[in-house]
Amino acid sequence: MNKEKNLDLDAAMIFLSGVDLFINLEGEIIESMAERMDTIKYEAGEYLIHEGNPGEHMLLIKQGKVNVMLKDKEITLGKGVVLGEMSLLSGNPSKADVIAQTDTEAFVLERDDFQTLMSAHTELASVMTRLMKSRLSVEDGIHTLGKYKILNQLGEGGMSIVYNALDTELGREVAIKMLKYEIATSEDFKKRFRQEAKIIAHLKHPNILHVIETIEDYSTEFIVMEKLDGYDLNYYLKHQGVFSGEKTRNILYQVATALEHANSDLSGGIIHRDIKLSNIVLDERDHVKLMDFGISTTNENAGEHYEGTVLYMSPELLLQKPIDHRVDIYALGITAFAMLTGKTPFTASSIEGVITNHLEKEPARIEDLVPDIPAGLAEFIHRSLIKDPEKRISSWLEIESLLSPSKSSQFKLEASSEMDLAIIIKMKSDDVDKDELLREIRWTLDRHRADYELETTKREEQKLDFDLN
C-alpha cells in the first residue's frame, strides 16, 4: 500500500461528482470532501480492508478491481464503488475482507474528517441518512442492531425514521426510531433526542408509549420502543372520516390522564408541547397511546425553547411568553375540534395567517358544526381554546370530569352508597409483570374516583384489598 499526500484537487472533484452516492451534492461540498482526501495505491492481492478491523476510513475506488469476500459469496467491484462507509459510521469491525484483484488506486477519507464534513454540510448528512435507510431496508444490508433484527420500515418524519424489529431474546416485535444524520450531527439535537428517551422511560402510564432502551451506533441514536397496534388519529380521520362525539370524548379522556401523569410533580412536570392528531395512536380496542415527546420540556425549563406545530400552538407559545401545561390543554382542544370536524379551527393559506388567527380569531361554535356533541366535550373545547391562559381551563381533574366516558360505559356499583370489595389475585406465572398489572389496576380505580387501600403479601400471589366508596 502506498499513500500519497499530493492530490489533484480538480481531478478528485470531477471523480466525486460522478459517484452515485454523491452525485447530487453541490460543488462546495464536493470541494470540501476533495480537500480532505488522499490517494492510496494497492498492488494486486493486497488487502484494502481486513475483516474484524474497526472502520477508520472510507475508500472510493478510482481505478482497478477488488474482491469483497463475504461468508457465502465473493463479489467483484470496480471504479466508482464506495467501500467501508458503514463501518466508518459505526466504528464497528468490518464484516468482510476486501482484496485488490488488480493494481488498484483509491481515494481515502478518514473517519474524523468525514464526521467534520457531515457536521458542516447538512446535505452530506442527508446523503448518509439515505444510505443508512437503504442498508436497513435491503435483504443483504444491515440485519441487526444489538439484539434486534430489523424487519422493515414503519414510517419516516422530519427528524427520524422508524423501523419494525424483532427482539431475538424475548421473541417480541418492537419499534426502533433512528435519528437522521442531518439531526444527529447537531449535539443539541442529539441531547434532546436522548432527553426524549429518558423522559418517556420514566413515564409509566397505560396511555403513554413505553421506551425499552436507547442505543448509540452508526454515529447516530436509536430509541427502542414498544410496537403499537393501530394507527394515529390523522390516519383514521383521512380514511374513516370524522369521529363521533362519544368516541372523541373517550379518546381525549385517555390523553388527558396521560398528560396529567406526565405533568405531575412525581413525573418531573413534563409539558408535551406537540399534542396533535399524528401523535396519538388508537388501537382496535379504542385504547390510546400518546407518543413523540421529542420537543417536550419541563415546567422548570419551559422558557428555553418555543417549539410546536403551528396549527396547534397556543397564543402564549407563539408569542414566546411564559408557558406551562396549559399549552397542551389548548392543543388538546384543537385536536378535539379536528376530530369532530375534519379540520383545525385556525387554518389559513399561510403560516402568518394561521398565527394571526390563533392570536385574534375566535373559533367557530362547535355546537353549530356538530349538533349532537356531548355537552361536557363541547364545554371542554370552548374553555380549552380561550386565548388568555389565565382564563383557560387548567385543572386536569375538571377536564377529566368533562371528558369522562358516558355512564353507560362506566363501571357502576348499584348496591349501597358505600361498599367494601376485596379482590384476591393469585399469580400462576412468573411471566406476568406484577408492577405493570398493579399500575393498570390503580389507573382504572383512579379513573372512577375510587378510594382504595392496597395490601401485598410476601408470597408469589398478590392480595389486593380495595375499599370502594
- Point out the catalytic residue in the list 97, 232, 274, 328: 274
pLDDT at 124 over 60: yes
What is the pTM assigned to this prediction?
0.70
Cα→Cα distances 134→128, 140, 161, Å:
10, 10, 12
Strand order in the sheet with 220-226: 144-145, 148-156, 160-167, 172-179, 220-226, 211-217
pLDDT tens-digit readout, 16-49: 888 888 888 999 999 999 999 999 999 999 999 9
pLDDT at 456: 59
- Percentage of the chain beyond pLDDT 90 is 43
Distance CA 164, CA 48 (A): 34
pLDDT tens-digit readout, 291-304: 887 777 776 665 66
pLDDT at 89 over 90: no
CA dihedral sign, ordered 38, 118, 156, 254: positive
**Helix axes 245-263 and 375-384, enclosed angle (nearest 10):** 50
Helix ranges (DSSP H) in 170-232: 181-184, 187-202
Task: State mean pLDDT over 63-91.
Answer: 85
Task: State mean pLDDT over 398-416.
Answer: 63
pLDDT at 21: 84
Give the residue among 121, 119, 158, 134 at the shortest CA–CA distance from 26.
121
Residue 147 phi/psi, 5-degree rounding, is -90, 5
pLDDT at 332: 97
pLDDT at 265: 78
Distance CA 127, CA 356 (A): 37
Task: State mean pLDDT over 187-195.
Answer: 73
pLDDT at 410: 42
Q: What is the DSSP letter of 208?
A: B
- For 181, the grid coordinates are 444524520
Q: Are residues 393 and 330 in contact, defined by beta-carbon separation less than 8 angstroms?
A: no
Name the average pLDDT for the chain: 83
pLDDT at 372 over 80: yes
pLDDT tens-digit readout, 202-213: 788 899 988 888
Q: Is 274 a catalytic residue?
A: yes
The pLDDT confidence band at residue 426, using thresholds 50, 70 and 90, is low
Distance CA 93, CA 111 (A): 13
pLDDT at 296: 76
- Bridge partner list, 153: 163
